[in-house]
Structure 1
Amino acid sequence: MDLSAPRARRLLLVDPCEECLALGQRLVKDGWEVHSAALEGVGMPDSDLGLLRLQTSHVKNLKKVKALINATGMQWVVALPHALLVEPGVAKFIAEWFLDYHTLPFDHSRVDIALGRACGMAHLRTRHMGSGPRAEQFVFGNSEQARHLQRLIARIAPTDTPVLIRGESGSGKELIAQALHSQSLRRTGPFIAVNCGAIPEQLIQSELFGHEKGAFTGAHQRKIGRIEAADGGTLFLDEIGDLPMELQANLLRFLQEKQIERVGGQHTIQVDVRVLAATHVDLEAAIADGRFREDLYYRLNVLEIRTTPLRERVADILPMARHFARLYMAEIGRRPRNFSAAAIQAMQRHDWPGNGRELANRVRRGMVLADGREIEPADLGLAPTPSQPQGQLASLEQWVLRAERQALQTALAHSPGNMSQVAEHLKISRPTLYRLLRKHQIR
Structure 2
Amino acid sequence: MKTFLDNDYKVITLPDNGVPVKPIRAKAIIFSDQNSRKLLNQVETIAPSSASVIIQGESGTGKELIAREIHLKSDRKNKPFLAVNCGALVETLAESELFGYEAGAFTGANKTRAGIFETADGGTLFLDEVGELPLTLQVKLLRVLQEKEVVRVGGRKPIPINVRILSGTHVDLRKAVAENKFRLDLYYRLNVVVLNILPLRERKGDILPLVDFFLSSYSQKLITTKPNISDRARNALLNYSWPGNIRELENNIHYALLVSGGKTIDLEHLRFSEETGSAVLPDNDLIQEFESILKRLFQEYDGEAWHIIEDKIVNTAFSSCWNNQVKTAKMLGLSRNVLRNLLSRYNLLPNKNENEIA
Q: Same fold (TM over 0.5)?
A: yes
In the alignment, what sits opposite 2:89? 199
Partner-residue secondary structure (3-state), 1:213? coil
In the alignment, what sits opposite 1:373? 263
2 CA distance for matches of 1:263 and 1:257?
Answer: 17
In the alignment, what sits opposite 1:27? none
In the alignment, what sits opposite 2:100? 210
Deviations 1:6-43 (A, max 9, x none): xxxxxxxxxxxxxxxxxxxxxxxxxxxxxxxxxxxxxx
2 CA distance for matches of 1:224 and 1:369?
Answer: 48
Structure 1 unaligned runs (5+)? 1-69, 74-125, 388-443
In the alignment, what sits opposite 2:172? 282
2:225 corresponds, among 322, 326, 335, to 335
Distance 1:223 1:383, change over 3 A: closer
1:152 corresponds, among 33, 37, 42, to 42
In the alignment, what sits opposite 2:11? 135
CA contact (8 A) 1:213 1:221 kept: yes
CA contact (8 A) 2:30 2:209 kept: no
1:225 corresponds, among 87, 103, 115, to 115
| Aligned residue pair count | 261
Shift of 1:372: 4.4
> Is 2:143 the partner of 1:267?
no
Deviations 1:349-384 (A, max 9, x none): 111011111111212222222214222233331498
Shift of 1:298: 0.2
CA contact (8 A) 2:52 2:166 kept: yes
Structure 2 unaligned runs (5+)? 14-27, 278-358
Work out the percentage of aligned pairs sharing the same amino acid: 45
TM-score, normalised with respect to structure 1: 0.55
- AA of the residue aligned to 1:182: L
- AA of the residue aligned to 1:266: R
1 CA distance for matches of 2:252 and 2:104?
Answer: 47
> Is 2:79 the partner of 1:189?
yes
Distance 1:237 1:383, change over 3 A: closer
Task: Select the structure with the greater relative contact order (CA < 8 A; seq sep ≥ 6).
Answer: 2
TM-score, normalised with respect to structure 2: 0.68
- AA of the residue aligned to 2:12: E
Distance 1:241 1:130, change over 3 A: closer
CA contact (8 A) 2:101 2:154 kept: yes
CA contact (8 A) 2:232 2:267 kept: yes
CA contact (8 A) 1:140 1:149 kept: no
CA contact (8 A) 1:141 1:320 kept: no
Partner-residue secondary structure (3-state), 1:346? helix
In the alignment, what sits opposite 2:137? 247
CA contact (8 A) 1:166 1:173 kept: yes
- AA of the residue aligned to 1:136: I
Partner-residue secondary structure (3-state), 1:165? strand
Distance 1:329 1:208, change over 3 A: farther
In the alignment, what sits opposite 1:317? 207
2:190 corresponds, among 292, 295, 300, to 300
CA contact (8 A) 2:226 2:262 kept: no
> Superposition RMSD on alpha carbons, in Å?
2.5
